[in-house]
Amino acid sequence: MNRREANKTLALAAIGSSLALETALAQTAVKAQKLIDLEKIDAKWKSLEFTFENTACILQRVAVPKEKTPRALLVEKEAFAAVSRRCTHAGCQTELPKTDGSHYCDCHGSQFDELGLVTAGPARTPLAAIKLEVREKAIWAVGFLS
Ligand code: FES
């Protein structure tokens, strides 16, 4: 095996392990976790870093999507989304969202929109999205979307 073939094999292994992790996260029963009381979300509130199922994640206010998507939780006239910060290319942690809510991975330059959908590779798979619900006047993380 030459160097080029070895690099290709390593890259494929990294992608495979990332996909396996996302699948495992989606299939594992998780314990619901309270993230933030709705009354604490004021006009200045932007985002909340949290750990969910041993994964660094971020909850943020997002633009109300034009179409209904499980990636966004609508609460009255606002929308919220939470995603894993584990980049789906090779597992690096994405930076904190930019002011437009998009996510960027410094390792190889992948970019994701505020819902975690890929806008620029090399990543091809969206960031894992966390299923959100309103319970007891708070936003809860209740699992990973499959
Ligand atoms: S790990 Fe390669 S772009 Fe994120």
State the distance from the centre of ligand 1 to the C-alpha of 7, rounded, in angstroms. 15
pLDDT of residue 63: 92
Whole-model pTM?
A: 0.78
Mean pLDDT computed over 16-36: 66
Every domain of the chain and the residues it spans: 3-144
For ligand 1, whether the C-beta of 65 sits within 6 Å is no
The predicted-structure confidence for 34-75, as pLDDT tens digits, reads as follows 999 999 999 899 899 999 999 999 999 999 989 989 999 999
State the distance from the centre of ligand 1 to the C-alpha of 136, rounded, in angstroms. 37
CATH topology of domain 3-144: Rieske Iron-sulfur Protein (2.102.10)
pLDDT of residue 98: 86
CB 20 within 8 A of CB 27: no
State the distance from the centre of ligand 1 to the C-alpha of 111, rounded, in angstroms. 9
Nearest-atom index, ligand 1, CA of 108: 3
